[in-house]
A and B are shown apart, each in its own frame.
Chain A
Amino acid sequence: MATAASAPSSMLGEREVVRNTGKEAIGTFLESQACYSVLRASGKVVVFDTRIPIQLAFYALVEHDMQAAPLWDPKHCEFVGILTVTDFIDVLRYYRQTGSDVATLATRSIADILADEGILNTVLQKSIPRRFVVKGESKESDQHSSFVAIDVEATLSRACNLLHDQCLDFLPVMLAPDMRVLATITYTCVLDHLVSNFREQRRLFDDTIYDLGIGTYGEEVVVAYPHQPLHEVLHTLHVHGLSAVPVVDEATKKIRGVYSRSDITFLTKASDAEDAVSNLNLTLDVLMSQQRSDVTTPDALHTCSTRHTLQSVFEYFAQVKFNRLIVVDEEERIVGVVSARDLVAYFL
């Protein structure tokens, strides 16, 4: 019996060592790599002058199919913030809640909207979402005045820590002497770089993600139901600071799909701002049937099981570049969610 008891513990010890070696290897790797290494060979950055109308800016974001755009203040000659799909959602939610005239969106400039106390207080700060958590006791000034960016030569681990500590989704990479934003990086960019460099080293990552505690599981998983209207779902996303939520069939608890913030951009394609606001009353059922199926975006539904190893998740990521995986059981019932953020955060 004594030998039987000692064998698993030594096995466990060995596993622990391998696991830590893998973690360390990635930690060292992130420390050695500059942000430059995750830049595309040829990339595009969309920059908005803060004087342009916010509606045009969102149309432009959709046209470029970009998730975020740095904002340039021509008066002070500096970048003042970053405009994302989330801002669009916030503004739409504000207009819906207050019943304001949506037509003004066509004329109000970005700077005007961002300076609007009403919008900030109503939708942005009611429940402080993670990206508005300001360090220290400084007042919760609008996040656009504190433009967080990272130098292109800084290490990747610094970039990851910034993303993590500031609760950011997008981190602009700056070439400071030129006042240029070279790219905005996300967790997915970092993960992509990791995966392409560590795919071969199978030995390091053959633990399951569940065992490693990567992701969110059980009661903590926030879900949405198909009958819910969009504005309710967006509120849920907002309150929990999420970028997407799994959509679950109420009766069977089976996974139906994922609704992510980036899906909101489809609203603007077919309609004007007024329509966009009224679309907030549509149910997920209706909206998900309208989602485009011609391309696989990083926000499409991808699933895995709790038995998948980190290595196999890496391998899967290399194929489809997902932003998150929904962990399901044999009956397609939701068990948890693993996001690119969770995967990167594990190594920090």
Chain B
Amino acid sequence: MGNQPASAAGGGSVSSSRRSSGYNNQGTPAPPGGAAPVGYKLQHPNQYPGMKKSTSDMSMTDNTGEFSDQQQQGALSRLDMATIAAAEEDTVPTVFRWEHGGRNVYITGTFNGWSRQIPMHRSGNDFTYIHNLKRGKHAFKFIVDDEWRFAPDQPTVADIEGRINNFIDVTDFKAYTGDKEFEKERAAADYNSCCKSDRSTADGDESSSGGKGGGGRTKDNEGEVYGHSMPDLDEYTKEPPPLPPHLRHIILNKPPQLQDTAALPVPQHVALNHLYCTAIKDNMMVLGITQRYKTKSCTTVYYSPC
């Protein structure tokens, strides 16, 4: 594995980097979620069904390369100003995302020849990393707390030794230009991709190799998309963020002052505008909120039926 150094701009370097990326094309278009180039677009998703897939040979075949060239032709024929500008650099700024927890998350992949583990940036519970990818397909994998992992919600591919990596295809990336035509094309592309994967599952032709990464998605009458892939366990078992300790000082819970029962302790300013509620009892819920007016605080206790 490993990318060749970028030798020249334009279509030539695109195809060479693609050839050398060294993994099988699963025929699954880049998904809406997961790692995706900003404003990615598929030009010809329906060209895929013509391909013959090998389930055992994981290396890139010529067939695929040729096919990708065709694809590239199609893309080039529709270049507009924005993509020409991007083509000069011919890199696609791509956001990589890890949404499955962990303390320290690194990413590495074909885009740096698997040479270096790059720390990802934490934002909340998720991690992101932005890299300017050369056009073509790229494999990558995450290192989460010293453990190699792939993101189950993103397209995957197995390498020669059977290890599973994530991959992304930015061959046909087209920068978003804001025109209506683009939106239309993208919508069509999205729809076609769904139909396509639907069909491939039905054929059974690709289902053995294309089972991972959002395969088998169907669209129902309302346009909702369902899939067969199990959501990651972390997605729905994540602990909620802990309550900041200062919010535990609820002034309504302090013992009342005997002389003046309507008086409360002066609240900390961080406790203002937080809504507190009791457990529902006798079909009644009690809500409390402390708000400020000028320098004085007023705590409203609201009894409401539920």
Task: Using CB atoms and an 8 Å cutoff, list the residues of chain A in contact with chain B.
Answer: 36, 39-49, 51-52, 56-57, 60, 64-66, 72, 74, 152, 175, 178, 180-183, 295-296, 321
Contact = CB atoms under 8 A, between A and B. Distances in A.
Which among A64, A175, A181 has the greatest number of chain B C-beta atoms within 10 A? A64
Contacts of A152: 293
B256 interface: yes
Interface in B235-251: 251
Contacts of A48: 302-303
Interface stretch (B67-75, B102-110, B119-127, B262-270): B262-270
Given A43-B298, A65-B256, 12 more contacts: A36-B293, A40-B263, A40-B296, A42-B265, A42-B298, A44-B299, A45-B301, A48-B302, A60-B303, A175-B293, A181-B300, A321-B259
Contact of A45 (B282, B286, B299, B304): B299
A45 B296 contact: no
B223 to A, nearest CB: 36
B75 to A, nearest CB: 57
Contacts of B297: 41-43
Contacts of B231: none
B284 interface: yes
A51 B282 CA distance: 13
A72 B302 CA distance: 9
B261 A42 contact: no
A16 B302 CA distance: 50
Contacts of B264: 40, 42-44
B293 A47 contact: no
Contacts of A57: 303
12 contacts: A36-B294, A39-B296, A40-B262, A41-B295, A42-B267, A44-B262, A44-B263, A45-B300, A49-B302, A51-B305, A66-B262, A175-B293
A41 B265 CA distance: 8
A294 B284 CA distance: 31
Contacts of A182: 293, 296, 298
Contact of A56 (B284, B291, B299, B302): B284
Contacts of B298: 39, 42-45, 180, 182-183
- What is the predominant secondary structure among interface residues of chain A facing chain B? mixed
B260 A40 contact: yes
Contacts of A36: 293-294, 296
* CB-based closest 4 A-B pairs: A65-B261, A49-B304, A42-B297, A42-B264
A296 B257 CA distance: 12
Contact of B303 (A56, A183, A295): A56
Interface residues of B, number: 31
A178 B300 CA distance: 13
A44 B265 CA distance: 10
Given A65-B256, A152-B293, A47 B300 contact: yes
B262 A43 contact: yes
A56 B266 CA distance: 28
A56 to B, nearest CB: 6
Contacts of A52: 284, 303-305
A296 B260 CA distance: 10
B252 interface: yes
A41 B266 contact: yes
A104 to B, nearest CB: 16
A43 B300 CA distance: 9
A261 to B, nearest CB: 16
A42 B266 contact: yes
Given A56-B284, A65-B256, A42 B263 contact: yes
Contacts of A66: 261-262
A41 B259 CA distance: 15
Contacts of B299: 42-45
A57 B303 CA distance: 8
A217 to B, nearest CB: 29
B301 A47 contact: yes
A182 B293 CA distance: 8
B296 A43 contact: yes
A52 B295 CA distance: 33
Given A36-B294, A180-B291, A183-B262, A44 B301 contact: yes
B225 interface: no
B226 to A, nearest CB: 39
A295 B259 CA distance: 8
B258 interface: yes
A240 B31 CA distance: 79
Given A36-B294, A39-B298, A46 B256 contact: no
B267 to A, nearest CB: 6
Contacts of B302: 47-49, 72
A41 B303 contact: no
Contacts of A64: 256, 261, 301
Nearest to B251: A42
Which among B282, B284, B301, B303 has the greatest number of chain A C-beta atoms within 10 A? B303
Nearest to B265: A42
